[in-house]
Structures are given as structure tokens and as C-alpha cells.
Amino acid sequence: MCNILYNTITMITILLLEGTNMKTNYTIYILLTHSGSVPSKLIKMYTREPYSHVSIALDPNLNELYSFGRLKPSNPIFGGFVREDIVYGTFGRFPKTQCAVYSLTVNQQQYERLKSELNNFVINRTKYGYNFLGLFGIMFDIPIQRDNKFFCSQFVATLLKNSGIDIFRKAPALVRPGDFRKCKELKLIYEGSLRSYRLYSTFYGDILSKA
């Protein structure tokens, strides 16, 4: 009788602990892309990396995807904080876009801070601009931080660092798209056509959310 009671209490304790861990671990997603646009080709030519753009999302379907890029899909000159869509908008102009999707597990505090930081960008989106000067700085390994101005990889790295997720150990203004691809903390969950990812995520959404 005592053994049964002990085993029951032990099992309940384990289940409670597992339930707690499930509630305190969250997954965020990093999207690397190469659209084939003229700017992306120039970046790829210089970096010799397969991807030239970085975005971040909190869901595996990438329904809420954010980065710094074109404010208007047809104009590469004017950039700023944008909510992206993997089918329409800028990506819609380049249907052959290739991508890699990575997952990153974070704790509850980091996740809540990340949502708060991201919400500040959303609320104040009109205040932000694109850090073109920072792109030249990164070529010479000189971090150029400008108020309310970011390029894509700098934005994602800043968002992570401000949320207590420092996975690069260097200034966000020096982080390149290739740094995400090489980061050991990130887990690759998909690589291929961006257009096909939505279908892939629809079928494997439950698996991806646990990745």
C-alpha cells in the first residue's frame, strides 16, 4: 500500500514538473531568405552566404513576421520596420525566394520580454528607419548604431539581446545573416522554397511548434 502511494505521488510530481516546463518553455522562429532581388544579389555576392535577409516570428506558420526592409514592395530605397508576409507583399514579388527556418527555445521571462520589445516596435513603427550607413560599417567591422534605425540582422539581434537572449556575444550592429545560419543555439527545421513553407507548416504545424 505504501509503495503504491509513493509511486502515485512520484508520478504526480513528475507530471506536474513536466507541465511546468511546458508552460515555461517557448519557441520563437528565425527566417533567413534570399529573394533574388538586385540588393539581395549584391549582399550575397559580398558575403558569399546563401541568405541575405533575416526576419523573426513567434509562431511556426510565420503569420506575424517582422523585420527591417522595404516599406513598399516595389521600392528598395525606402526602408523601415515592416510586418512581412511570406506569400504577399515583397516576398510576393519574388516567388522563387529560397529560405531557411530556424527555431529557438526560450524561457517564459525571455519570451514575455521579447513580445514587449516587439510590441514597442509595432506601436512606434513610423518612428523607425533603415540603417543604410550601418551596412557600410559592418563591411569594415565597425558597429554603427543610429537612433531608431536598423538593418534586418541588426534588428533581430537587438530584439533578442534586449530580451535577455544574447546568442552572438557581439554588438548587434555587427551581426550578419550568416551569423544566424552558423549559430549553434538555432535549430534548422526547414530549408527550401519560401512559397512552399506555408503548405509545409500547415501539415506539420504541431511538430514545428514543439521543435
Q: CATH number for the domain including 62?
A: 3.90.1720.10
Asked, for residue 21, whether it belongs to a domain, the answer is no
pLDDT computed for residue 10 by the predictor: 35
Asked, for residue 8, whether it belongs to a domain, the answer is no
Provide CB contacts within 8 A for 57, sequence distance 6+: 28, 29, 31, 63, 64, 65, 66
The domain containing residue 37 runs over which residues? 26-209
pLDDT computed for residue 8 by the predictor: 36
- For residues 158 and 165, give the distance between their C-alpha atoms in angstroms, rounded to a whole number: 9
Mean pLDDT for each 10-residue chunk of the chain (211 residues)?
40 39 80 89 84 96 94 84 92 93 97 96 95 91 93 97 94 96 95 89 62 56
Provide CB contacts within 8 A for 201, sequence distance 6+: 60, 61, 62, 190, 208
Task: Take residue 21 and report the three cell numbers written for it.
Answer: 516546463
Q: Are strands 98-107 and 25-34 parallel, antiparallel or unpaired?
A: antiparallel
pLDDT computed for residue 124 by the predictor: 95
pTM, two decimals, is 0.84
Asked, for residue 115, whether it belongs to a domain, the answer is yes
- For residues 137 and 148, give the distance between their C-alpha atoms in angstroms, rounded to a whole number: 16
Asked, for residue 166, whether it belongs to a domain, the answer is yes
Asked, for residue 60, whether it belongs to a domain, the answer is yes
pLDDT computed for residue 45 by the predictor: 82
Asked, for residue 16, whether it belongs to a domain, the answer is no
Asked, for residue 102, whether it belongs to a domain, the answer is yes
Asked, for residue 159, whether it belongs to a domain, the answer is yes
Per the structure, the count of domains in the chain is 1
106-118 burial by CB neighbour count: b if 16+ within 10 A, else e? beeebbebbeeeb
Task: Take residue 204 and report the three cell numbers written for it.
Answer: 506539420
